[in-house]
Every structure is written in structure tokens, then in C-alpha cells.
A = this chain, B = another copy of it.
Amino acid sequence: MADKNGRGASRTEIRLAGEGGQGMILAGIVLAEAAAIYDDKNAIQTQSYGPEARGGASKSEVILSEGEIDYPKVISPDVLVVMSQEACDKYASSLKKNGLLIVDEEKVGRVPTSRAVKVPITRLALEASGKAITANVVALGVLVGLTQIVSRQAIEKAVTARAPKGTQDMNRAALLAGFAAAERLSGRQAPETSVPA
């Protein structure tokens, strides 16, 4: 089933936005690979660079679908993750009505809706892995934990496959910290181990 824009009912649009160097592009690739390689969905992952590319902002878009993806651009995201104030200011209004806005609460002071999900993503990355650079993986953990758009097993495999040699454990720790934050937000108790080994 598709709507008048040719979008299938199962289509989910995700936009990940932040500053250059925060790994938003890699996060998009990992999410798309989780869906396509490990969860048997179709996925398209896109970066569009316009004049804003010279400003240091970075965004990555992923479309997931059970069926074929006919229109490859994000129209209005179902899920938006913003890791900087600039990204929030720029993209929050594009979010679908009742869409999910996830913000790094220590990076984004002004949020345009009371419905945003605020998580100290970069701080959790530091605490869980010792490295702020894993914030993109924490963000994926929060996103997947809250939405289940891909399975936890799939995202964990995709993160591990893309992690540079010697950083697999660090990245896995960051992912689990994201899952745990999502569980706290959902009001469920985080079990000691949230993903089957």
C-alpha cells in the first residue's frame, strides 16, 4: 500500500544531524546496513551537500522499508536525531507530525517542542566507552531502543562490523548505553544485559 506520494505504508524516514566530526554519516550507514544486511529490509542512505556543507553541519538520511523504496529522498522524517543546536534549529520543523525528536540535551539548549526526547548522548558515550566519539553509536542505541525500527541484534552486528579494529568493545558498550537510556525513557527497567550475547 502506498500513499499519494508513492510512499509505502512501511516506509520510515530517519534524519541524523549534527556537526562534522560527530559521525552522523557513519551512523546512517550503520543503520542502513543493520536494516538491509541483517534485518532483511530495504534501505537507502543518503548525504546531500548543498551550500550549507561549507558550514560544518552534517546530516545523513536513511529510508527503511519492507518493500521497494521508490522515492529516495527524505520528505518529512519520522525520526530526527539532532546533536547540535544548529541542526535542531534547522531541521526540527521538518519532523513529521507526531514524529520522534531525539536531542543530545547537553548540546541542544533550545528545543522547539515539549515532546522531544532529551538524552545526554555525548556524556553517556564518554561514561560508557571513555570516548565522546562514540556518541553516534549511543544515539543509534537510543533510536533503536525507542523505535525498534531495526532489531537490536541487527544494529549490534552492524556497529561491530563497521567499528575499526580494536574498538569493537568500546562501540558495543556505547550501543548498550543507548539501549539502556531508551529503556529508562520507556519506563522499563534496564536488564543487566540488554542484548543476547
Q: Chain A residues in contact with chain B, CB under 8 A?
A: 25, 29, 32-33, 35-37, 40, 42-51, 53-54, 68-69, 72-73, 164
- Secondary structure at the A interface, as helix, strand, loop or mixed, is mixed
Closest chain B residue, CB of each to CB of A43: B49
A53 neighbours in B (Cβ, 8 Å): 33, 36-37, 43
A72 neighbours in B (Cβ, 8 Å): 46, 48, 72-73
Closest chain B residue, CB of each to CB of A55: B37
State in angstroms the CA–CA spacing of A164 and B167 once bound together.
Answer: 14
Cβ B29 vs Cβ A47 within 8 A: yes
Cβ B69 vs Cβ A48 within 8 A: yes
Cβ B49 vs Cβ A32 within 8 A: yes
Q: How far is the CB of A79 from chain B (nearest CB, A)?
A: 18
Other A-B pairs beyond A32-B49, A45-B46, 9, CB < 8 Å: A33-B53, A36-B49, A36-B50, A40-B54, A44-B46, A45-B47, A45-B49, A46-B46, A50-B68
State in angstroms the CA–CA spacing of A84 and B129 once bound together.
Answer: 37
10 contacts between A and B (CB under 8 A): A33-B53, A36-B49, A36-B50, A43-B48, A43-B53, A44-B46, A45-B49, A46-B46, A46-B72, A164-B164
A54 neighbours in B (Cβ, 8 Å): 36-37, 40
State in angstroms the CA–CA spacing of A46 and B71 once bound together.
Answer: 12
A36 neighbours in B (Cβ, 8 Å): 49-50, 53-54
